[in-house]
Amino acid sequence: MTEQIQSVASIDDFEANRAKTKKALPALLIVFTLGTLMIQAFNLVFQNIGDSLGMSSSASLISTLPGIVLGVVCMLYGTLCDFISPKRMTLFGVVALVAGSLLGFFGSFNFWVVLIARMIQVAGAQVAGSVFLVMTVKYLNDKEKAIYIGIYNAVYYLAAAIGVFAGGFITSFDWKYLFLVPALSVFFIPLLIKNTPDISAKGEKIDSIGILLFAVFAALIAIYFSFPGVGMIIASIVFAVLFVLWIWKGKNPFLGRSFVTNGAYMSILLLQFVLYFFNFACVPIYNVIGERIYNVPLTTVSLCLTLVYIVATIVGCVSGPAINRLGRMRTLVIAIVLMIVGFAGSAIFIKSGFGVLTFLACLFIAGVTAVYTPIYDAASDVLPVEENGRGVGILDLMMNTSASIGVAVYSSLMASDTMGKGGLFGVGSGVEAQTSNMFWIMCTVSVLSMIVLFVFRKSFTAKRNV
């Protein structure tokens, strides 16, 4: 009788949190969107900012350092959501976002103030994204979970589409007013206070040492790919060893042995690593094709990229219903096939026209977008609900790390003279051969991901682990 009462109470709590979560998610999504828009906007105008403040040589820091912060806080926030209530996390994030916005606007006369403000903005905006994902996987039912993860993914690409499209438009304004756009988040604070669940882990202490060790390790990895050096590699290895020792010897590490030895979750991480390896390289290679092969103006390239991102947005929206109808495995297979066809087609038809390549870019970006929802959906089901935050955080970290490694590999390969000596199926030498061969390498990695998927297919059919 007691067990039945507890079961009913548990169901009632889940439904109450589910109802509040569905009311809070739209506001969280708007805050996240405002922050993500600024990432795209400042990536477009960072050189203008550096030039206007007499710091042209350091202008790229406005893009790279906030990017490093983003990679680290994605992991950190997801983890903290397992210990700190979503409401407290959200309020902290919005306050940081608004504070960074005001600091950047009023301190726009100083480059270093602008840089610090951008880092605070990025750190604050990501709280909304991390809380959105964690609340989705913890407090919604299976069908709703897939749909909202897809919407989250779609919003990212929608923001990218708006950012790319607005590239020329933004530069006609004084860039300091960009800082005020995320400050609109302040109007959503009452709604977030009212509807965001105020639930925190009971009886659990935050493993500050473990989280700090892992955060430093993640930061060093992220910094290395922006500022490579032997010292960074050595420091990363040292902190990796310290973290592993902490997991095995610590009293209550935030990533326990059961987490790191969860074979299903680790296989999902492996697939994510392979799938997202060349994610950051998709846009640079497209820019190279437009500029160096077809001599297409930047405005035309931006317009075509906007179309590509709009396709990604649509795919993100329908990926949730697709999972509910087709299942994770079929959705992943279709997505990877789209990637293979898009990459292979681009390699073969590299000389067939910019319009053809834009269509093929839509195919492979659709595939890249469609894999996001089933991966996060599957990962949340192979972990206990109380560990979903950590699971989401590690997935975010893996996605960013994999893509960072991939873009470094891409840059190295594109700089190689060997890549330009000749291509397959009649593709000549030079830039055409470089890009064609690069697409074949991307295609090969996609084929590898299909193999990994079928080897570990059981991990993607598991039901929620409670």
Give me the mean pLDDT over the 170-189 stretch. Answer: 78
Task: Choose one of 253, 274, 289: the last residue of a domain.
Answer: 253
pLDDT of residue 370: 92
Residue 258 included in any domain: no
Least trusted range by pLDDT, from 206-220, 364-378, 436-450:
206-220
- At residue 202, does pLDDT exceed 70? no
- At residue 8, does pLDDT exceed 60? no
Least trusted range by pLDDT, from 131-140, 160-169, 300-309:
160-169
Tokens of residue 153, six digits:
């993914």
Task: Identify whether residues 234 and 195 lie together within a single domain.
Answer: no
Per the CB < 8 A criterion, the answer to whether 76 and 62 are in contact is: no
CATH of the domain at 119: 1.20.1250.20
Per the CB < 8 A criterion, the answer to whether 131 and 196 are in contact is: yes
Task: Identify whether residues 334 and 438 lie together within a single domain.
Answer: yes
Band the pLDDT of 450: cuts 50, 70, 90: very high
E-strand stretches of 115-180: none
pLDDT of residue 362: 92
Residue 122 included in any domain: yes
Task: Identify whether residues 243 and 267 lie together within a single domain.
Answer: no
pLDDT of residue 425: 66
Task: Identify whether residues 298 and 381 lie together within a single domain.
Answer: yes
Nearby residues of 105 by Cβ (< 8 Å), 6 or more positions away? 176, 177, 179, 180, 183
- At residue 234, does pLDDT exceed 60? yes
Residue 239 included in any domain: yes
Structural domain for 109, as ranges: 1-202
Per the CB < 8 A criterion, the answer to whether 196 and 24 are in contact is: yes
Per the CB < 8 A criterion, the answer to whether 56 and 91 are in contact is: no
Residue 150 included in any domain: yes
Least trusted range by pLDDT, from 67-81, 100-114, 267-281, 379-393:
67-81
Nearby residues of 373 by Cβ (< 8 Å), 6 or more positions away? 146, 149, 150, 153, 316, 319, 320, 322, 323, 331
Coil, helix or strand at residue 201: coil
Task: Choose one of 186, 202, 218: the last residue of a domain.
Answer: 202
pLDDT of residue 334: 94
Band the pLDDT of 4: cuts 50, 70, 90: very low
Q: At what angle do helices 111-139 and 142-165 cross, to 10 degrees?
A: 160
Least trusted range by pLDDT, from 169-173, 258-262, 296-300, 307-311:
169-173
Task: Identify whether residues 338 and 450 lie together within a single domain.
Answer: yes
Task: Identify whether residues 228 and 179 lie together within a single domain.
Answer: no
Task: Identify whether residues 148 and 172 lie together within a single domain.
Answer: yes
Residues in the chain: 466
Residue 366 included in any domain: yes
Measured CA to CA, the distance from residue 149 to residue 138 in angstroms comes to 12
Per the CB < 8 A criterion, the answer to whether 357 and 349 are in contact is: yes
What domain count does the chain have?
3
- At residue 5, does pLDDT exceed 60? no
Percent of the chain with pLDDT over 70: 89
Task: Identify whether residues 2 and 104 lie together within a single domain.
Answer: yes
Q: Which carries the bigger pLDDT value, residue 283 or residue 108? A: 108
Per the CB < 8 A criterion, the answer to whether 126 and 74 are in contact is: yes
Tokens 């997202």 locate to 276
User: Could you read off the pLDDT of 268-290 as tens digits, one per residue?
Assistant: 999 999 998 888 777 778 878 88
Burial class of residue 260 (count of CB atoms within 10 Å of its CB; 0-12, 13-18, 19+):
middle
Task: Identify whether residues 379 and 319 lie together within a single domain.
Answer: yes
Residue 191 included in any domain: yes
Task: Identify whether residues 75 and 183 lie together within a single domain.
Answer: yes
How much of the chain is helix, strand and coil, in % rounded to 5?
80, 0, 15
pLDDT of residue 448: 95
Nearby residues of 90 by Cβ (< 8 Å), 6 or more positions away? 24, 28, 127, 128, 131, 192, 196
Least trusted range by pLDDT, from 16-25, 192-201, 233-242, 351-360:
192-201
Give me the mean pLDDT over the 246-257 stretch. Answer: 75
Task: Identify whether residues 372 and 388 lie together within a single domain.
Answer: yes
Give me the mean pLDDT over the 82-91 stretch. Answer: 83
Residue 84 included in any domain: yes
Q: Which carries the bigger pLDDT value, residue 5 or residue 243? A: 243
User: Could you read off the pLDDT of 298-325 as tens digits, one per residue?
Assistant: 677 778 888 888 898 899 888 888 888 8
Tokens of residue 273, six digits:
């690593």
Per the CB < 8 A criterion, the answer to whether 398 and 222 are in contact is: no
Band the pLDDT of 164: cuts 50, 70, 90: low
Task: Identify whether residues 347 and 464 lie together within a single domain.
Answer: yes
Distance of CA 167 to the CA centre of its chain: 21
Least trusted range by pLDDT, from 103-107, 202-206, 253-257:
202-206
Give me the mean pLDDT over the 91-102 stretch. Answer: 90
pLDDT of residue 142: 77
Residue 395 included in any domain: yes
Give me the mean pLDDT over the 322-347 stretch. Answer: 92
